[in-house]
């Protein structure tokens, strides 16, 4: 667009329009103030397109050189903050193209040959999201490493394992943390799968039907790194689908939602564990806040907010999926509404992962190279809580099974023993041998090994179990997988 045409555009779209847009409609329809964050992807996409147009003889080499020069200038303007984003120019694409044309004239006007904003925006969002997924993958690795480090320090710390939030059986605190490592490793796998479908090229679909110019879409895909593991270009194969598909955004937000759900479950545990009634862990003061009225309070704001922000991300998933449900093929302006939920999902997830890595694992002190200020664990409180809940009752039943009792009978016998222990307000291991023998004569003094928390832990020495030996093996596996 020439300056003259640009000025005209701020009045009305083209000669076809008899009146300009009202200010309200301009504001309502424009996206530039949020989609300008796609500017790098927009420039990369344009450069790959221009390079291919020149290679195919659709534009001249001189035009390509002018476009490259103009884009270099424009890039600097954006980086240094001198670029003037204009609401009148609606979105990031028109803003960049108009400025390019101001800078290089007709060559800028040739850039849009064989292209539409419909395939352009789909390409930009995919390129941008691909980069963000790579950052998220790295953050997921950091969080897993932080959890593995804390797990390793606490392999032998005993936590009451809960079912129904009732004390169930003793577990290693390290084992408990590794459960979250499993969740985040699946999140990481999911992100990688989503990335492979994000990394496909819509450009070349033009408005909806393809284009009459002899484009080389594979070449553009290769230039943009939209290739599979074997290096083959990944190009959207149906022009109508290429411009209208937002599955990739929905899939990403679904994967992000699930990751936030894992964070939220961990948050809920942290909140519980930090309450005075549990007193199992502390997080560093910088992740907590005080109360304006109750001076004794240290509230776990960060985990609570993460739990709250999970609702927000799941809301974005609902928003995006609903955005698509009524749209006929192909592109509709509805699709402009994909950006804010997607951007906010990415921002929320990245910040949350970062803050959790630091809150769990601490920060590296550059002087010592050691991490400091992660969660601190009150091993004694955990162990005391496990002792209060008859966590080794199953072990007594298993002991009786080894002595020949059928499991159901053993279960019933132990129920009587627990009832007696409750009446005396002691743990099973504190009942005298003679009393225990009153429930079953085959009980010998070796029963106290089985009844101890540590004995119970060590006994669960099967793959995936909580015995410290198993937990150490899992830590080694995770370290090898994470390169840590």
Q: How does DSSP classify residue 462? A: S
Q: Residue 442: helix, strand or coil by DSSP?
A: coil
β-strand 281-282 against 158-163: which pairing, if any? Answer: unpaired
**Do you find a cis peptide bond into 330, omega within 30 degrees of 0?**
yes
Minimum CB separation of residue 12 from ligand ARG in Å reads 15
Name beta bridge partners: 159: 171
- Of 262, 269, 256, nearest in space to 315 by CA: 256
Q: How far is the CB of 91 from ligand ARG (least distance, A)?
A: 4
Q: Kindly tell me which of 74 and 323 has the beta carbon lying closer to ligand ARG.
A: 323
**How many residues comprise the chain?**
484
Q: How far is the CB of 289 from ligand ARG (least distance, A)?
A: 38
Smallest gap from residue 333 Cβ to ligand ARG (A):
6
Q: Do 450 and 395 touch, CB atoms closer than 8 A? A: yes
DSSP notation for 199-235: S-B-TTSTTTT--SS---HHHHHHHTT-B-TTS-B-B
Nearer to ligand ARG, 336 or 452 (CB): 336
The set of long-range contacts for 394-400, using a CB threshold of 8 Å and a minimum separation of 24, is 394/169, 394/456, 395/450, 395/451, 395/455, 395/456, 395/459, 396/428, 396/447, 396/450, 396/451, 398/450, 398/459, 399/443, 399/447, 399/450, 399/451, 400/440, 400/442, 400/443
The conformation of residue 293, written as its DSSP 8-state character, comes to S
Q: Do residues 341 and 319 touch, judged by C-beta distance below 8 A?
A: yes
Q: Is the dihedral of CA 219, 220, 224, 225 positive or negative?
A: negative
Are 237 and 205 in contact by the 8 Å Cβ rule? The answer is no
Q: Is 373 left (phi over 0), alpha (psi -120 to 50) or beta?
A: left
CB of 121 to ligand ARG, least distance (A): 4
Following DSSP, what letter does each residue of 267-292 receive, concatenated?
HHHHHHHHSTTT--EE--GGG-B--S
- Which positions are catalytic? 164, 291
Residue 235 bridge partners (DSSP)? 201
Residue among 151 and 249 whose Cβ is closer to ligand ARG: 249
Question: Which residue lies nearer to ligand ARG by CB, 101 or 264?
Answer: 101
Q: Which is nearer to ligand ARG, 35 or 269 (CB)?
A: 35
**Least distance CB 117 / ligand ARG (angstroms):** 4
Q: How far is CA 85 from the centre of its chain?
A: 31
Strands 371-372 and 363-364: antiparallel
Q: State which residue, 64 or 342, has the beta carbon closest to ligand ARG.
A: 342
Closer Cβ to ligand ARG, 58 or 206, answer by number: 206
Nearer to ligand ARG, 124 or 187 (CB): 124
Contacting residues toward ligand ARG, per CB under 6 A: 31, 35, 91, 117-118, 121, 331, 333, 335-336
User: What DSSP element (H or E) covers 61?
Assistant: helix 61-80
Q: How far is the CB of 375 from ligand ARG (least distance, A)?
A: 42
The pair phi, psi for residue 339, each rounded to 5°, is: -75, -50
**Considering only CA atoms, which of 349, 151, 122, 387 is closest in space to residue 246?**
122
Least distance CB 182 / ligand ARG (angstroms): 38
């Amino acid at each position: 667009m020439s300056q003259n045409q640009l000025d005209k555009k701020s009045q009305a779209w083209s000669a076809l329009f008899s009146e300009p847009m009202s200010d309200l409609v301009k504001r309502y329809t424009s996206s530039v103030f949020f989609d300008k964050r796609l500017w790098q992807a927009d420039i990369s996409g344009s450069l790959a397109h221009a390079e291919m147009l020149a290679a195919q003889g659709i534009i001249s080499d001189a035009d390509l050189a002018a476009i490259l020069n103009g884009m270099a200038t424009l890039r600097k303007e954006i980086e240094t903050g001198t670029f003037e984003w204009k609401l009148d120019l609606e979105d990031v694409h028109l803003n960049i193209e108009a400025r390019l044309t101001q800078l290089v004239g007709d060559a800028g006007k040739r850039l849009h040959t064989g292209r539409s904003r419909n395939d352009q925006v789909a390409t930009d969002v995919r390129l941008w999201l691909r980069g963000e997924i790579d950052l998220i993958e790295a953050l997921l690795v950091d969080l897993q490493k932080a959890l593995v480090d804390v797990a390793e320090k606490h392999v032998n710390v005993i936590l009451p394992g809960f079912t129904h939030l009732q004390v169930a059986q003793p577990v290693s605190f390290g084992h408990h943390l590794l459960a979250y490592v499993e969740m985040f490793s699946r999140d990481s796998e999911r992100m990688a799968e989503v990335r492979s479908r994000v990394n496909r090229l819509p450009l070349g679909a033009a408005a909806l039907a393809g284009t009459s110019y002899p484009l080389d879409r594979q070449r553009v895909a290769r230039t943009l790194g939209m290739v599979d593991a074997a290096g083959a270009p990944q190009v959207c194969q149906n022009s109508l689908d290429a411009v209208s598909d937002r599955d990739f955004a929905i899939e990403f937000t679904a994967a992000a939602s699930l990751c936030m759900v894992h964070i939220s479950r961990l948050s809920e545990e942290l909140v519980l564990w930090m309450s005075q009634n549990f007193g199992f862990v502390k997080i560093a003061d910088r992740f907590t806040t005080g109360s304006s009225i109750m001076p004794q309070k240290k509230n776990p704001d960060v985990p609570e907010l993460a739990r709250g922000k999970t609702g927000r991300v799941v809301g974005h998933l609902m928003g995006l999926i609903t955005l698509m449900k009524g749209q006929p093929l192909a592109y509709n302006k509805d699709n402009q509404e994909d950006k804010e939920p997607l951007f906010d999902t990415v921002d929320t997830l990245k910040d949350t992962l970062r803050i959790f890595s630091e809150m769990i694992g601490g920060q590296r002190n550059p002087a010592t190279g050691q991490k400091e200020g992660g969660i601190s664990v009150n091993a004694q409180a955990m162990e005391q809580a496990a002792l209060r809940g008859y966590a080794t009752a199953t072990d007594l039943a298993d002991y009786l099974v080894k002595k020949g009792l059928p499991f159901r009978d053993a279960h019933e016998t132990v129920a009587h023993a627990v009832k007696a222990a409750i009446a005396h307000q002691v743990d099973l291991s504190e009942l005298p041998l003679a009393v225990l023998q009153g429930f079953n004569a085959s009980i010998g003094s070796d029963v106290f090994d089985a009844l101890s928390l540590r004995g119970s832990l060590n006994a669960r020495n099967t793959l995936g179990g909580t015995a410290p030996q198993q937990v150490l093996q899992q830590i080694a596996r995770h370290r090898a997988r994470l390169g840590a």
